[in-house]
Chain A
Amino acid sequence: MITIKNLSKVYENGSKPVKALDNINMHIQKGEIFGIIGYSGAGKSSLVRCLNMLEKPTAGTITIDGKEITALNDKELRTARRKIAMVFQHFNLLSSRTVFGNVAFPLEIAGVPKKEIKQKVEKLLALVGLADKYDAYPAQLSGGQKQRVGIARALANDPKVLLCDEATSALDPETTKSILKLLKDINRQLDLTILIITHEMKVITEICDTVAVLESGKVIEMGNVVDVFTKPQHSTTRAFVQTVINTEIPEPVKQRIGQEGGGRVIRVSFIGDHTGKTVISSIVKKFDVDANILYGNIDHLQDTPFGGLIIELTGKQESILKAEEYLAQQGLQIEVIANDC
């Protein structure tokens, strides 16, 4: 659906040129949810903005649905843009128009007759669950509702591709979840290709099929989400994976860790087959240490379990170190949180 070849983007407007994208190559399949993750400044927005030519690429070609959009004139580009919809982090709704008016806007632009607009908008608002907010102005809506309007608006001209630049980054976790679910539903119902830009690994694990990790304008890792997640090759990718595995330790557990004589507390994180517990019991047997599980969480990425355990180890220091070594050999990530022994 989308093919990007040797794409580069250099910004020349500052005091010195900034190379935001450096020879990007990727292919996005029809009907998939493709995620692009990277830290702030990695070039994510530049990349997605090149896809609808909000930014002109410095070099390279982009083909969307068989059309080389980097080779179109102004008029052709305007027509092509109707099929490349975009959802924005800050919603970018028209404050002077109602919810209805906002969703009707792209249809008006495309010259759709009034009667058809009305039917289409009603259908779209029902799809995003906002049928009752028809007459409301954006100022009267919550962030999540605004983004639903943004999504309905994006879908108005039956796009082939939906580009989402940090579409959930301005929303709280609960709302993020519901918006991601909506995107997934749309992806299934309409067989719509979705490109999601984010700096949160959670978003990737939640709904993406494929992921590309972007750093300093380069793709440093790309592939099936489960593969990249279970076998991250690059340190940046590993850091992103850690963000979803190491969830916040609950307050009572934290207090307990702080207490005197609490022993050595470690965090064991795992992805894939070993769900940790069996390994824990084997270190107790093997190394003459006591292991007390203070906290644990397990999550699933499709069928792959992942999570972390907070364990308090007591015993001889030597034995503890040996036990830790053993855990590491089993492919588990170890992090020492407290060391009171």
Chain B
Amino acid sequence: MTADISLINHLIEISPELWKATYQTLVMVGATMFFSTIIGVPLGVLLVVTEKGSIMENPKVCSILGSLVNIFRSVPFIILLIALFPLTRLIVGTTVGTAAATVPLVVGAAPFVARIVESSLKEVDKGVVEAAISMGARPWQIITKVLLPEALPGIILGLTITTVTVISYSAMAGVVGGGGLGDLAYRYGFQRFDEITTYAVVVILVIMVQLVQSFGSWLSKAVNKK
């Protein structure tokens, strides 16, 4: 009985910290997804349309972009985080804080988004693209009116997966000074042996991932008319 009361008291005590950390994580993940999508979607589109035999065939651009994406995807995130300190300082002015953590997160997630968009676009029926070409569609019209709308359910699912990954990466970014739930769990749970905080963080993360996944699956299904 007394244990329960002290548990609740403790949760109440740390709740402002929990809310603040949750808020920071949401901002970090939200900003990361926003920028990764803005960068990753065009990149993915370019990877597909510049491919041999596609509507804007350009093998050089295709292989350069492909290599670039692969390089960033092959660096483990924790190393990327540290290696990108100079870039982060250049863009944000500091290497600590939520905004600073967003830079490596975007660099890590955007190539991931690009590959996901690429594979979704490749699933689009070649015949439909051909039909559009036979009607005299320009490449830009094919991209905006055929490829992206037809691939949308797949892209949404891919972005959902990316979001879940970014949530876990954001915890890592937190540890090196980004704030958020990862940082909180590290400071309380690891440095002060406060297990209750650690479990609270875990529960919040699980709920977050569940919500993101359910929403993503629902949205993907809602736009899928196949």
Contact = CB atoms under 8 A, between A and B. Distances in A.
Contacts of A88: 127, 130-131
A78 B136 contact: yes
Contacts of B223: 96
B120 to A, nearest CB: 13
Contacts of B212: none
B150 A95 contact: yes
A52 to B, nearest CB: 5
Nearest to B53: A13
A93 B128 contact: yes
Contact of A92 (B127, B137, B138): B127
A137 to B, nearest CB: 4
B157 to A, nearest CB: 15
A137 B153 CA distance: 15
A92 B130 CA distance: 8
Interface stretch (B141-149, B163-171, B181-189, B198-206): B141-149
A120 interface: no
Pick the most buried of B125, B130, B131: most chain A CB atoms within 10 A of its CB: B131
Interface string B98-141: 00000000000000000000000000010110111111111001
Nearest to A82: B136
A136 to B, nearest CB: 10
Grouping DSSP codes into helix (H, G, I), strand (E, B) and loop, the B interface class, with mixed when no group exceeds half, is helix
A163 to B, nearest CB: 8
B146 A94 contact: yes
Contacts of B60: none
B176 interface: no
B152 interface: yes
B133 to A, nearest CB: 7
A23 B88 CA distance: 64
Interface string A167-185: 0000000000000000000
Given A94-B149, A95-B150, A96-B152, A52 B134 contact: yes
Contacts of A138: 225
Contact of A54 (B128, B133, B141, B146): B133
Contacts of A78: 136-138
Contacts of B133: 54, 81
Pick the most buried of A86, A95, A108, A110: most chain B CB atoms within 10 A of its CB: A95
A94 B150 contact: yes
A26 to B, nearest CB: 20
A92 B137 CA distance: 15
B141 A109 contact: yes
A95 B145 contact: no
29 contacts: A52-B134, A54-B130, A54-B134, A77-B136, A78-B136, A81-B133, A82-B135, A82-B136, A84-B134, A85-B134, A86-B131, A86-B134, A88-B127, A88-B131, A92-B130, A92-B131, A93-B131, A95-B125, A95-B150, A96-B223, A105-B132, A105-B145, A106-B136, A109-B132, A109-B136, A109-B145, A137-B225, A139-B226, A157-B135
The 5 closest A-B pairs by CB, nearest first: A81-B136, A92-B131, A78-B136, A92-B127, A137-B225
